Chain A
Amino acid sequence: MADCGEANGPERKNEIVRAKNEEKELTKEEKQRLRKEKKQQKKQKEKKDDKGSSEKSGREKTLDPLSASQVLSTQSPTQKVPASAPIPVPPSGAPSHSSGAPSHSSSGAPSPADKPAKSKAELKAERRARQEADRASKQQGSSSSSKTKAPASDLNPVVKRLPEHVQVDDPAVVKRLAKKLERQQIPLRSDYGYKVSLFSHLHQYSRKAPLTQLLSIPSSVIHPSIVRLGLQYSQGIVTGSNARSVALLHAFKQVIMDYSTPPNEELSRDLVNKLKPYISFLNQCRPLSASMGNAIKYIKKEISNIPSQYKEEEAKTKLLECIDKYIDEKVVLAAKAISKYAIEKISDGDVILVYGCSSLVNHILCEAFDKNRKFRVIVVDSRPRLEGREALRRLVQIGISCTYVLISALSYVLPEVSKVFLGAHALLANGYVMSRVGTSQIALVARAFNVPVLVCCETYKFCERVQTDSFVSNELDDPDELMVTRKGKTQLEDWHDLSTLGLLNLVYDVTPPDFVDLVITDLGMIPCTSVPVVLRVKNVDQ
C-alpha cells in the first residue's frame, strides 16, 4: 500500500482532493482499484459502502510520509470545518489494516476508529450511520493504541496484532512519529547524548529538559492534571509500576470530571479521541509501562461501551465508578490476595532477600510481620537509582530487622538467605519476567546457590509481548545520572567531549523462567511457565 501510494503520490493526491471537493467524482474503476488494494492489506473486511471505503482509503493513501505534508494543509481546512472533532486528521495507515507493514503505523498510532466523516450535508449523515456501525464493531477489538499491547480484536481472532517496537534509528518511523505529534500539537522530545550502538533503537532523554518546558502555559491541548503527571513521570517523582498506573487512572478521573461533550458529538467516541493526545504526551514524557497499557486499554473499552442513551452526567459517574473499581480490584484487593498466599511461604526463622523497592513485596513483608512471623530481611540496592533505601526506610519503620547491601556484595550474602522475593514490572507471554535492571542478576546467582526465587505480580501486569532478551524493548534513562560527585570532583563531567565514550543507564531487564521457582499472583501460585495459560483464561473471561 505504501509503495503504490508513493509511486503515484502526486496524481492520486490531486485526484482525491478534487474528489473530495466534488464528492461523487471518483469513477467506478478508481473505486474498485482502491478497494482491491485495500483488500489485499486487510484479511477480513467488514461491510462498507463503496464511497465510504474509497474515501477513507484515498485519505489514507494521501497521508504517506512523502506527500503527507502537502496534503495536510489542504485537508485540514476542510476537516476543521465541522469543528467538533478535536483530532481532525485520521491516522496514517490504520494499524489493523496494515498488519503486514508494522512500520506504517508509528508507535502508538491511534486506532482507525476515530476517522470522522467530513462531507456535504446529506451524505454526511448516511456515511456517518454506516461508519458508526463499522466503528462500533472495530472499537470492541482494536481499542488499544499503545505499542506495548496486542489487542485480540474481534475482527481478526486468528491474526493477533503484536505490539509495536520502538525504532528510533529508523528515520521513516521517526518522521511519522513527528508528524503524528505535530498533528496532536504535542512537542517532540529530542534525544540527548551519545547512545550505545546496541540500544540506538531506543529513546534517550535528559531529565533536565522535561517536555513541559516546551509547552505553552496554559496548555490548550493537554489537560493540566496530565501535564502535572507527565512532569512527575519524567522527573522520577512517581516511580514504580503500581504507582504510575494508579496516578494515571486518577488523572484520567480528573479529565473525565472536567470533560463536557461538544455539541453533535457522542461521549463514547469523543472522549476516546480526547485521550489520545494525552497518552502520546505521557509516552513522550516517559515510555508507558505494561500495566499502564492494560489500564488504558480497559478505560478505552469502558468508554466505548457507554450506551448512547446515557446522559452525560450518568455516563461520567459510571466511568468514574469503573475506574475506582478497577483500581480497587486489580491493585488493592490483588495485593491482599497475594499477601495471603505469600505469607504461607514465609516461615519462622527465614532470611528473605529483596531487591530495590517493590510496593507489593513491601506490602507482603509488612503483612507477614503483622501476623507475627519471625524473619529478617536483606535489602539489595544498586546505583544510580538507589531505590532500596526507600524499601529499607519502610521496613525499618514497622520494626523488621534489615540488612542493607549493594548488589556487588550479592554472592557474599546469599549463603545465609533462605528465600528471594522479587517484584515485577510485567510478566511476558513466554514466561519471562521483566523487572528493574539487576533482577535477572539476582535470580541467576540465587539459582546457583539453590535459593528459591519467588516473583510477586498482579495479573493486570501480564502482557502479551514476547521477549527473550533485554535489548529488543527497554528504556534508557538519563546518562548524566551515572556521573557521581565526590569531594567536589565530578568524574565523567565532560563525557560528551569524548567521542568514543558512551554512558548506558538501563532501566529494565528480562529474567528467564528457569530461574524463577514460583510466581504468586492474585489467582494463586503458578509456575512461571503457566503465564500464557492465565492470559488465555483471562481473555476468555473478557
Chain B
Amino acid sequence: MDEDELVEYFRTQMRQDPEVPSAVAAIRTLLEFLKRDQSETILGLRENLTRTIGRLGEADSSVAVSSGGELFLRFISLTSLEHPDLSQCKKVMVERGELFLKKISLSRSKVAKFCHTFIKDGAKILTHSSSRVVLKVLESAAADKKRFTVYVTESQPDSAGQKMADKLRKLNIPVTVVLDAAVGYIMEKVDLVIVGAEGVVESGGIINKIGTYQLAVCSKAHNKPFYVVAESFKFVRLYPLNQQDVPDRFKYKADTLKAVEDLAEEHPMIDYTPPSLITLLFTDLGVLTPSAVSDELIKLYL
C-alpha cells in the first residue's frame, strides 16, 4: 500500500464520518496498512509504520494524529512478540490493533459520563471553538434533564464557533455566540469554562485552538474553574516551555507548511495552555489533575 493510497484512505475515512476523531481515522488507516504490509522483518514493519505515521502527519497536521499513531505503535508492540513466524506476529499485532481501536472508539462517551455531573442545573458554560467531545458532554448533560446556557466564542479565523452554535441549537440548548475579544467581558457571567483539546502534553498542559490560552488566563483571574475534556489517545510526548516551544509542524496547517517559506507571516492555529491554569482534565482514564497526566504518561510509555 503506497503512501498516496494511504492518504486517500485516511481522507475518505474522515469524509465518510465527520464525527470520527482524526486520531481514530489515522489508526484505522494504520491498521489497514498493517494488514496489507509486505515487509519481511519486524524491524522493517516498525520502520514502515513509523514512516507512515510521519506521512499522515504531513497530510493532517493535528497533534492528535501524531499522538494516536505513536500510541498505536506502542500498544501493538507492548508485549514481546515471541512468535518466530512473522505472519503469526502480524496476526497478533492486528488483533491488538483492533482491540485498541475498539477501546478508543468508546472513549468519547466515557469522557462525557465523567464530565456531565460537573454541570449543575442553571449553569452558564463558556466554551471555545468547535469540539466534538464538548458537544458530547453537553449532549449528555442535556439528556440528564439539566438546564444550562452556553456561550461559544466565535473562534476566528475559521469561525468554527458558529458551527458549534448551530449544533447546539439543534439540541435545543440556549446558546450565544460571543466575539473572541469579548471573553474578558463575559467571564464574570459564566460559572465554568469547558474546552476540548487537540493534544495533552507531558506537563499536563494542553494544545488547543488559538484563543484557549487567553480564555484560561481570564478564567484564572476571575477564579472560575477551567475544565478540559480529552480522550487518552491525545496524550503526546511533548513538553513545551512556552508558546514558542511548540513545534512548527503543529502550529500551522499542513498545506501552509508546505506552501509558505516565511512562517513569521503566518498566523498560528493553535496555542499552548500551561498546567497551572487548568483545574481538571476529564479523560477516559478518569478525572485527572494536571500533575497526574505525567503519571499516566509514565505508565503508558515507560
Contact = CB atoms under 8 A, between A and B. Distances in A.
Contacts of B301: 524
B295 A533 contact: yes
Contact of A526 (B245, B275, B298): B298
Nearest to B274: A517
The dominant DSSP class at the A interface is mixed
A524 B203 contact: no
Contacts of A345: 241, 245
A527 interface: yes
A511 B101 CA distance: 43
A65 interface: no
B242 A452 contact: yes
A533 B298 contact: yes
Contact of B203 (A419, A518, A534, A537): A518
Contacts of A537: 298, 302
A530 interface: yes
Contacts of A504: none
Given A518-B203, A537-B302, A526 B294 contact: yes
B236 to A, nearest CB: 12
Given A523-B302, A525-B202, A526-B298, A452 B241 contact: yes
B298 A518 contact: no
Contacts of B239: 518, 525
A530 B241 contact: no
A530 B291 contact: yes
Contact of B302 (A419, A524, A527): A524
B226 to A, nearest CB: 18
Contacts of A517: 203, 241
B204 interface: yes
Given A533-B295, A534-B298, A537-B302, A527 B242 contact: no
B294 A530 contact: yes
Of A454, A523, A530, A534, chain B has the most CB atoms within 10 Å of the CB of A530
Of A454, A527, A537, chain B has the most CB atoms within 10 Å of the CB of A527
Given A523-B302, A527-B202, A419 B241 contact: yes
A529 interface: yes
Interface in A296-355: 345
A534 B242 CA distance: 25
B241 A518 contact: yes
Contacts of B241: 345, 419, 452, 454, 517-518
A345 B301 CA distance: 20
A529 B242 CA distance: 18
Nearest to B242: A452
Interface string B220-232: 0000000000000
B231 to A, nearest CB: 21
Given A452-B241, A518-B203, A527 B291 contact: yes
B302 A530 contact: no
A537 B299 CA distance: 9
B95 to A, nearest CB: 28
Nearest to B205: A527
A517 B203 CA distance: 9
B291 A526 contact: no
B275 A527 contact: yes
Contacts of B203: 517-518, 527
B204 A527 contact: yes
A376 to B, nearest CB: 18
Contacts of A534: 298
A529 B291 contact: yes
A351 to B, nearest CB: 14
Interface in A418-461: 419, 452, 454
Interface string B103-121: 0000000000000000000
A527 B298 contact: no
A487 B88 CA distance: 83
Interface string B193-204: 000000000111
Nearest to A453: B241
A537 B202 CA distance: 17
Contacts of A523: 298, 302
Interface in B275-302: 275, 291, 294-295, 298, 301-302
A422 to B, nearest CB: 14
Across chains A and B, which 8 residue pairs bring their CB atoms closest together, nearest first? Answer: A529-B291, A452-B241, A530-B294, A525-B239, A533-B295, A527-B203, A527-B294, A533-B298
Interface of A: 345, 419, 452, 454, 517-518, 523-527, 529-530, 533-534, 537
Given A452-B241, A537-B302, 14 more contacts: A345-B241, A452-B242, A518-B203, A525-B239, A527-B202, A527-B291, A527-B294, A529-B291, A529-B294, A530-B291, A530-B294, A530-B298, A533-B294, A537-B298
10 contacts: A452-B242, A517-B203, A517-B241, A523-B298, A526-B298, A527-B203, A527-B294, A530-B295, A533-B295, A533-B298
